[in-house]
C-alpha cells in the first residue's frame, strides 16, 4: 500500500477502524471482531463507537457487501460520514448497490478482488465526493477500455489505481465515451 495515500487518509478522515487480516468472510458477523490497534488510539464516544471516518476491511475473505451497513453502523459513531473504505484483497466479485448509499465516500479501495463486469463501475457514479478509487488486480483490468471506462464513469476522479488522472486522460475518456466506447465487450 502506498504510504502517502495512507497518511493522507488518516489525516483527513481520522485513524481508521482497522479490521484487516481478521479472516472475515461475513460482514454480518464482523461486529464480533476487535479492531487492530494502530500507531495512535482512536477516540470513542460515550456509546463506545469510534470517532473515525475510515474503515479498513482489507485482506479478508469477504465475498458479499450486502451487510456492509452493519459494521459501519456498529463501529463508527457517525456511519453516514464514512469517507474512506478499504476493501482491497478480498473475494468481492460485484460492486454492490450498498456502496452507493455511502454518500460521503471519497476514497474506495477495491483492488485485488474478483470484479469481472466493467459496467458495474458505473454504479459508483452516484457518489458525489468519490475522488480516489483502486480497481487494479481485478479481472476488469484486462479489458482494453478499462481506464477510459472508469474515468468516463467517474469524471470527478483525481486518482485511479494510485496514479493521478490527468487532464489528457479525461479528454480521451470523454472522446471514447462519445464515440460509443461503452458498447464494447463488458465481461472477460
Nearest CA-CA partner of 43 in 75, 71, 21, 73: 75
In CATH, which of 3.20.80.10, 3.80.10.10, 3.40.50.970, 3.30.565.10 is domain 3-183?
Answer: 3.80.10.10
- Give 12's pLDDT tier (boundaries 50, 70, 90): low
pLDDT tens-digit series, residues 109-163: 999 999 999 999 999 999 999 999 999 999 999 999 999 999 999 999 999 999 9
Nearest CA-CA partner of 36 in 67, 8, 59: 59
**Phi/psi at 14 (nearest 5 deg)?**
80, 165
- Give 180's pLDDT tier (boundaries 50, 70, 90): confident
The rounded distance, in Å, linking the Cα atoms of 147 and 141 is 8
Element (H, E) at 134: strand 132-134
**Helix intervals (H) in the chain:** 3-13, 69-75, 146-153, 167-178
The neighbour count for residue 167, using CB atoms within 10 Å, is 8
* pLDDT > 70? residue 1: no
The rounded distance, in Å, linking the Cα atoms of 26 and 40 is 27
Farthest CA pair distance, the chain = 55
* pLDDT > 70? residue 7: no
Angle at 105 between CA 102 and CA 108, to 5 degrees: 110
CA distances from 140 to 34, 67, 119 (A): 33, 24, 9
Q: Which residue would you say has higher pLDDT here, 182 or 107? A: 107
3-class SS of residue 117: strand
Amino acid at each position: 500500500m502506498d504510504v502517502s495515500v495512507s497518511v493522507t487518509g488518516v489525516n483527513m478522515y481520522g485513524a481508521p477502524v482497522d479490521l484487516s487480516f481478521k479472516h472475515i468472510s461475513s460482514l454480518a458477523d464482523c461486529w464480533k471482531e476487535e479492531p487492530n490497534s494502530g500507531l495512535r488510539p482512536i477516540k470513542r464516544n460515550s456509546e463506545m463507537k469510534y470517532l473515525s471516518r475510515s474503515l479498513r476491511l482489507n485482506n479478508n475473505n469477504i465475498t458479499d457487501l450486502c451487510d456492509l451497513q452493519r459494521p459501519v453502523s456498529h463501529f463508527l459513531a457517525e456511519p453516514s460520514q464514512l469517507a474512506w473504505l478499504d476493501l482491497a484483497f478480498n473475494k468481492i466479485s460485484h460492486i454492490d448497490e450498498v456502496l452507493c448509499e455511502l454518500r460521503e465516500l471519497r476514497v474506495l479501495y477495491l483492488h485485488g478482488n474478483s470484479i469481472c463486469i466493467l459496467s458495474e463501475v458505473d454504479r459508483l457514479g452516484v457518489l458525489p465526493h468519490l475522488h480516489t478509487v483502486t480497481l487494479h488486480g481485478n479481472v476488469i483490468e484486462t479489458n482494453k477500455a478499462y481506464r477510459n471506462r472508469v474515468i468516463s464513469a467517474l469524471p470527478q476522479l483525481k486518482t485511479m489505481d494510485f496514479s493521478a488522472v490527468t487532464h489528457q486522460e479525461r479528454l480521451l475518456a470523454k472522446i471514447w465515451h462519445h464515440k460509443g466506447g461503452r458498447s464494447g465487450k463488458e465481461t472477460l
